[in-house]
Structure 1
Amino acid sequence: MSEKPQNVPQRRYDIDWIRVIAIGLLLIYHISIGFQSWGRMIGFITSPKSLDQLWYAMSLLNIWRIPLLFFVSGMGVYFAMRKRNWMQLIAERAYRILMPYVFGIFAIVPLHILLFSYYYDMTLHYIWSSAHLWFLGNIFSYVLLLSPILFYLKKNETGKLASWIKRSLSKPWGLLIVLAAFVAEVMLVNPLPFEMYAMTWHGFFLGLLAFFFGFCFVMTGAGFWEMIKIWRWLFVVIAMGLYVLRMSQFGKVSPGYLLATESLCWILLVFAFGSIHLNKKSKTLAYLSQAAYPVYILHMVFLYLASVLIFPIPVPTIVQFILVLAFTLAGCFGTYELIRRLKFLRPLFGLKIA
């Protein structure tokens, strides 16, 4: 029987904060798509006038915001495994992820598809789809696929394999192994564009790698966090340098290996600075951490409803953006306040029954 690890990672509030911030960025990114001329081509309701200047910030975000969530999800599974065996973990994730995923496919997504059809004078049909909820399907798949190796590592944290992973990820050269995996994925799959994650093999395999390495980062413990703190400014320089190079030289056709490198550097610097500034418990975090999941599930309905109501109003485009953002947030959080008070609704949105 393996010995229990001596250095058991405690709950990290910075990871909770990063999850909340990542979902907030996702919401703002989706709102911004409504102000891009190409938004309708990927199923978004778009404003008659675009805000092209938003693209610079969107381009910076779109190569790492989704991978970041996959890393965080893998980290969350490590903590969930501390008090659960594999059957309990699968059952818990089915309750918290699979149930909202299936409910959303049939009850949430059809609502914003109807709003899209209404706005563009299309025939109204009930259409079920995973749409933005594809992420949940991927996460549940990763739990099923990776559970054997994750539980092996968790139960044998003093064994040779887990010890080697911990030693490697406590050193900067260990990150080269992580980078090599992501570069290999992008070179083999050759996604065009890189940021097309939804319901693609690229999104699936990149998410699988991020989920696994997120688990390994947390399993490594203090050695990993101290290492990335030391090297955080190098991550900043590389990420910003590659972003400037991408925007000035390559534009929309940057080499995949550069995008994978830039993406990982952004993610590592987020974790590094987050570990310094965000690892603090607070009532605000407790509230937002609970609200984040329902808000993610609901946000497209209120975004599309806001678009239907606000885009026809003859006001400056920036005012439309602010109004859509305010309406979407108010709708999501207002509905969350209702959901968290009704026991029969809580499981459908990933909340435990209080």
Structure 2
Amino acid sequence: MKTQRRYDIDWLRVIAIGLLLIYHIAIVFQPWAMLMGFIRSDEAVEGLWKPMSMLNVWRIPLLFYVSGMGVYFAIQKRNWKELLLERSKRILLPFLFGIIAITPLHFLIFQKYYNLPLGYYAHQGHLWFLGNIVAYVLILLPLFIYLKRITESRFAKGLSLFMGNPIGPLALSVFFVLEIVITKPQIFELYAETWHGFFIGLLAFFFGFIFVYSGKAFWVTVLKWRWLYIALAAVLYTFRLMEVPSIGFLVAIESNCWIFGLFGLGYKYLNRPSTILAYLSRAAYPVYIIHMFVLYAGAMMILPLEIPVLLKFVAIVIFTGIGCYLIYEFLIRRIGFLGPLFGLKWNFKNEKETERIVNSAESTS
């Protein structure tokens, strides 16, 4: 079965991972950075955290939504065995390799920076996200296979009708609200290695699949009502800044409103091929895997410099971006056996063919 590639979804994944780098760098300049295991700047820039607090309620759920959408597209041309094999190669292998060889690196840099005894141990670190994805595929695959078989059923048609109403997608926020009521997270944004993070990711992953499964209705809805979703999210974010009571209840709705607005904007402006997207889409996954130790290395070298603190922030952003690019471009991308360890496709010829197709599409558009 042929499926039309959704370039807007690819773009949103790339943008979310790019924002993740900036978010993690901003943590370095917060007074509580060491509590999160980050190298901490002696000079705090707490003003950075206001925009980060807006970003943080939707950046990880967005990635889970997009990952669920990716499974929908993958399952259209694979049976369950082929899907498990493909996800094992693309997600499980990099996850296991990263636990052993990548995530310990930034903790070694942390120990070196603070003159602590150097010690190595395997841990998932920021790669917890990949571990969750593996679990979600295993848990939800039987349901996804079943839904694939009933695409012409009354359920599928009713779902499409439901998603055609602006209240439809938003109504699903009730599940995210219930998740908060049940898990009672102390901080909504604390996703890593928590039950809250696991279940909110499971919901987003499942509904990401459902949104694409429902057909064009969902995309028409978020396109038409994108500014309504964004306006509602902005109002709820303002309430959060003002510390309105019962904020934990509202933040789940705010999170989804930002995401639905972004889906609408992406569908309108980003659903077109480009050579830049083709490159960034392949680079995003490896960059996500390596960015933490590059960030820590930059912090270790730049923070001691006698320069203004905001300049340090900018310098670490630039260092991390360039460092990740160089490692990806000249090591991961060019040394054949490294690619699959960082989530790249095993068949390099397919990558070249993808570039050819994208170039052809651009020239005719």
- Does the pair score TM above 0.5? yes
1:326 counterpart (307, 318, 330): 318
Comparing 278-287 with 160-169, greater Cα deviation is found at 160-169
* Structure 2 unmatched runs, 5+: 349-365
- Match of 1:296? 288
- Match of 1:243? 237
Amino acid at match of 1:92: E
- Match of 1:282? 274
- Match of 1:15? 9
Structure 2: how far apart are the matches of 1:270 and 1:304?
30
CA contact (8 A) 2:170 2:256 kept: no
Give the 3-state SS of the residue equivalent to 2:19 in structure 1: helix
Comparing 214-223 with 302-311, greater Cα deviation is found at 214-223
**Structure 1 residue 254: Cα displacement:** 5.0
Amino acid at match of 1:187: V
- Match of 2:305? 313
- Match of 1:171? 165
1:52 counterpart (46, 58, 62): 46
Give the 3-state SS of the residue equivalent to 1:312 in structure 2: coil
| 1:61 to 2:37 alignment | no
| 1:145 to 2:142 alignment | no
CA contact (8 A) 1:170 1:220 kept: no
TM-score (norm 1): 0.95
Q: Deviations over 1:25-46 (max 9, x none)?
A: 1111001100111111110001
Identity, % of aligned positions:
53
- Match of 1:352? 345
CA contact (8 A) 2:106 2:296 kept: yes
Amino acid at match of 1:49: E
Amino acid at match of 2:164: S
Give the 3-state SS of the residue equivalent to 2:102 in structure 1: helix
Amino acid at match of 2:150: N
CA contact (8 A) 1:153 1:161 kept: no
TM-score (norm 2): 0.92
| 1:255 to 2:256 alignment | no
Q: Deviations over 1:230-278 (max 9, x none)?
A: 111211211000111110133xx75322000100000000001111111
CA contact (8 A) 1:187 1:256 kept: no
- Match of 1:268? 260
**Structure 1 residue 180: Cα displacement:** 1.0
Give the 3-state SS of the residue equivalent to 1:53 in structure 2: helix
| 1:102 to 2:96 alignment | yes
* Structure 1 unmatched runs, 5+: none
**Structure 1 residue 162: Cα displacement:** 2.4
Q: Deviations over 1:139-186 (max 9, x none)?
A: 111011000111111121012332222221222232243111111111
Amino acid at match of 2:203: L
Q: How many residue pairs are counted as aligned between the two chains?
A: 346
Structure 2: how far apart are the matches of 1:313 and 1:128?
32
Amino acid at match of 1:82: Q
Q: Deviations over 1:181-221 (max 9, x none)?
A: 11111111111100000000000000000001001111122
Amino acid at match of 1:60: M
**Structure 1 residue 102: Cα displacement:** 0.4
